[in-house]
């Protein structure tokens, strides 16, 4: 069963169980920073306010205390994360087809 992801000062959602945290945030139309998507660069780093995450492989990038790399982890409990910018600035506008 998937765990709830809460965005600090935002809302909560239920990600697909197989999705990484980055994929889960992207599926909510939140434009996250990333480069490698494999735990090497550290570009995607965000603050974990509450909860636990699980890395399938230990990331090589330096991770600050209290931060996580959402590109290569999944929520291991209900989690609360802080985004690097206000949610409204990170929400992507859906392209009109
Ligand atoms: S995108 Fe490179 S560590 Fe997450």
Domain boundaries, the chain: 5-85
Residue with tokens 């909860």: 51
Q: Is the CB of 61 under 6 A from ligand 1?
A: yes
Q: Tell me the pTM.
A: 0.91
Q: Is 40 exposed, middle or buried (0-12, 13-18, 19+ CB in 10 A)?
A: middle
Atom of ligand 1 nearest to the CA of 71: 4
- CATH 3.40.50.2300, applies to 5-85: no
Q: How far is the CA of 14 from the centre of ligand 1 (A)?
A: 22
42 lines ligand 1 (CB under 6 A): yes
Kindly report, residue by residue over 48-61, the tens digit of the pLDDT.
Answer: 999 999 998 999 99
pLDDT at res. 16: 93
Q: What is the mean pLDDT of residues 12-30?
A: 95
Q: Is the CB of 36 under 6 A from ligand 1?
A: yes
């Amino acid at each position: 069963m998937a765990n709830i992801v809460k965005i600090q000062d935002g809302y909560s959602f239920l990600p697909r169980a197989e999705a990484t945290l980055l994929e889960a945030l992207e599926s909510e139309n939140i434009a996250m920073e990333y480069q490698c998507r494999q735990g090497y660069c550290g570009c995607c780093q965000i603050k974990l306010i509450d909860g636990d995450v699980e890395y399938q492989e230990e990331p090589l990038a330096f991770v600050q205390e209290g931060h996580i790399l959402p590109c290569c982890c999944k929520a291991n409990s209900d989690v609360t994360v802080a985004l690097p910018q206000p949610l409204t600035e990170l929400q992507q506008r859906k392209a009109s087809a």
